[in-house]
Structure 1
């Protein structure tokens, strides 16, 4: 069987579910419950302990940030009503008055100070420890004011506060119950409140009736875990759920052809990459990683597995970001050169493992199997191992991956600082590789207000990246969702599942 036959076969198998749509129904509903099916279970309700898409779809609705990035890409007020640069290294935020946490505790500046300080507290061991490394200290001069002092000028701080790590947690409650209980019984200020969680089944959340942004359009949100794509799509077509995430492109036509459902999507503000544990042999050898990149036919993956719903990356910077270099060619497929690099590396057939989930990202398993075949074509002893989402989460914490695994790094700031530097920088969640010049440039670019300097720094960092491949970028996909036609909702390119009043409602009769 040729590689193309293998890929097209995988695509056909993924789409081979026979679900006959029922008769067309009116495109309105009287439902008071929003049911969403995603590709994996929730691992953490504590917002500082995870940046995984399955978790943030809930956590960004359980909690609020000081600022908020809406689907239109613009920055809006959240728990802060205004902010301004009051000195070259000082940002002052005015807080929204009268806000309460779900347990009735009043929200104040002390909660903001404690929340952000927690993210980089070594004792807390958060997954967002590098997000706010520009901050020197935080002051809470009165309940309605927070002052951030940066180590050096940081024009991106308001944008940083809108995403990972910026969710505000209740200082008093967290201290009283401890982090484990807090994760089991989370409390925020967001539009939904925690009710229950059944492992590998569903999380149930209810509308916060006193939400400062207005009560959402439903009484309850149920987030179901359906890892396999075919059953997830079937649940939508049968009307059992209102929306599904990670809709693989080969199912899009069926969803659109069904009289009661449709596909909706956005070009992902990030990349799907094979992250690399460069501490494991032979992946500590840059030539081996160069060969792995050269051995992937990304054009076939985009065409056959994604039906054209994606683009081939040219580096670790996503299209649409500041400092994306459009002059760079897409990452090359060159099997002959891949074999040469393996030979030059002294590769002796050591096993190279891709550990893949099923449904954490769309097409993760299918892409793994296609890439395994491509790598075997160039002489790589490639193996695919399937793992549960909870095991993946544990391996992330332990940094214990055997080789490569799927990651979907999100550009949190529309800037390289909020994507590859946040994750690959020293102490970051994917710190498996270090390079002195790369680190020097990344730190300098983070603090510079000179965009010409930053552009040059990121160009040089890109060249270092393309030599060492701490990630092997595969695709910048369109992230597609299937929804019932009565759902009025706009997807956010950054993977947040925004259900606040400005972005979600059911069309009612």
Structure 2
């Protein structure tokens, strides 16, 4: 597979003054969520990955619909059922002027599983692969069994120079000490809680960005983002609040771009501890973790009124969810349907599981990471209380929340029941199923984001079979079966799929992406 994107730009009128030209090359974007780090391998999280794409190219690229295309690898092919060969671009240089070669790829993939304190590792994307250097610009990837998703997996993480991969820590990345990117932009500033600055890489190997500078401002409060756009303080905002969409669509000075997201909002549950830290009897005394019982998990799912969440909290800018991705994506099950709201049925299941009077539970979630996340947590807590489960809530700043939810005290997930979101970086179901519900095994790269430590040997086996199946139709069918195993067992509780919505000042055009990324390279005038 090979190819390239060609962009034709109209000549700039000579009458355009230099000050106006300079203004036209500066882009200001209001972001809904802040990355937890500038280290491209520290945390497999959408804000981190989106930021990384500007500076660190991937071997294989993804377009707005997550279709694969050339990146730092200009072509690839399957040499035999267990070997892929990638031809890397020549004449690509890192910011420090050093040439890009296979050695940089080898150093990058070696780093992925070994980033200290990573809340969600990229290790699953290279698990089971052996990387070999054929020559300076030819890479071979070998697997024990046929692995049709190797190119897809290599589209999920950025490549850094060997010098950065071996000698730069996460803290150093945050301090802008790595000059080992090949991307269209370079970092110029990073002020946590405030902004990220980018400058165009004029030596970029691909199409040069239209913007000389980009300022990403962290405007995590939705009203603040909208106010900044209307005041002209930013040119583009992401994560438009659902309540503001009709008003902004009616504004002649504002343009809207939208598409269905690859992100599911869902609930992870503690399924590995006999005594869960935030669950007790109603009188506060210890009880055996009720979430270990499938009937309790099913009751909780039945107590959630998904249509009400979509209509009242998301103002229609969402779709009720039944699995990790909407049915338009590869490998989903047409048989699965969103769990119907049935409070009476949920109470019956809870009683059958031995909890006729319910129990007490605290639910945790990130404050301001996802659209209306706090409101959703509050609403679901009320729904659970009606079920008979006395539910408290605690929301936490995202960076702290994800760290504690993944590797809290003793290196284990800290919470009992959490709201989270997951964007499918591969654009199909296998990566999500393996990361979220595959049995946790750091060595095998399974369950990297399995914060409930759900484990089901039948799911693991079906995933393994699917990931070794080359035929697309057969693999899709196997992934659909895996989805049915996972969700009929209530491995996680899905709530809804978000709709990605951007708003921009008139004249700024935003390419809406299913992966939720706001890319400066996808914004034009």
**TM-score bin (small chain):** 0.7 to 0.9
* Structure 2 SS opposite 1:264: strand
Q: CA deviation at 1:267?
A: 0.3
> 1:52 maps to which residue?
45
Q: 1:178 to 1:330 in 2, by over 3 A?
A: closer
Which residue in 1 is equivalent to 2:436? 423
* Equivalent position to 2:36, from 33, 38, 43: 43
1:320 positional shift: 1.6
Q: CA deviation at 1:112?
A: 0.9
Q: Describe the SS at the equivalent of 1:146.
A: strand
Q: CA RMSD in A?
A: 2.2
Q: Normalized against structure 1, the TM-score is what?
A: 0.87
1:413 is aligned to 2:426: yes
Matches within 5 A, 1:78-477: 78-121=71-114, 127-135=121-129, 137-163=130-156, 166-185=157-176, 186-187=178-179, 188-279=181-272, 280=276, 281-347=289-355, 349-398=358-407, 399-426=412-439, 427=441, 428-431=447-450, 432-451=453-472, 454-455=475-476, 457-477=478-498
Q: Is the 8 A contact 2:66 2:426 kept in 1?
A: no
Native 8 Å contact 1:277 1:401 kept in 2 = no
Contact 2:238/2:518, CA 8 A, preserved across alignment: no
Q: Using a 3 Å threshold, how does the CA distance of structure 1 residues 30 and 183 change in structure 2: closer, same or farther? A: closer
Alpha-carbon offset, residue 69 of structure 1: 0.7
In the other structure, the counterpart of 1:18 is none
1:122-156 per-position Cα deviation (integer Å, ceiling 9, x unaligned): 87957111112131x11122211111111211111
2:262 match: secondary structure:
coil
Counterpart CA distance in 1 for 2:435 and 2:403 is 20
Q: Deviations over 1:5-49 (max 9, x none)?
A: xxxxxxxxxxxxxxxxxxxxxxx9943322222223221111111
- What are the Cα deviations for residues 463-499 of structure 1, in whole angstroms up to 9, with x where unaligned? 4323432321000121112222221220210122232
Distance 1:438 1:212 in 2: 42
Q: Distance in 2 between matches of 1:122 and 1:448?
A: 30
Q: Which moved more, 1:278-287 or 1:60-69?
A: 278-287
Give the Cα separation in 2 of the matches to 1:92 and 1:245.
37
Question: 1:336 & 1:476 partners in 2: Cα distance?
Answer: 26
Alpha-carbon distance change, 302 to 149 in structure 1, aligned in 2, over 3 angstroms: same
3-state SS of the aligned residue for 1:392?
A: helix
CA-CA distance at 1:214 after TM superposition = 2.8
CA gap of 1:385–1:175, structure 2 versus 1, over 3 A, is same
Contact kept in structure 2, 1:317 and 1:420, CA below 8 Å: no
- SS in structure 2 of the partner of residue 48 of structure 1: coil
Instruction: Tell me the residue number matched to 2:501.
Output: 480
For the 8 Å contact 2:195–2:215, the answer to whether it is kept is yes
| Secondary structure, counterpart of 1:47 in structure 2 | coil
Per-residue deviation, 1:397: 4.0
Q: Relative contact order (C-alpha < 8 Å, sep 6+): which is higher?
A: 1
1:247 offset after TM fit, Å?
1.4
Check if 1:495 corresponds to 2:516.
Answer: yes
Task: Give unmatched runs, 5+ long, in structure 2.
Answer: 1-20, 277-288, 442-446
Count of residue pairs brought into register by the alignment: 474
Aligned mates of 2:230, 2:308 — CA distance in 1: 29
Q: Is the 8 A contact 2:248 2:254 kept in 1?
A: yes
Cα–Cα, structure 1 residues 241 and 132, in superposed 2: closer, same or farther, change >3 Å? same
Q: Deviations over 1:323-344 (max 9, x none)?
A: 3222333221111111112212
Cα offsets for 1:205-236 (capped at 9, x unmatched): 21111111132111222121122211121111
CA-CA distance at 1:83 after TM superposition: 0.8
Shift of 1:396: 4.1
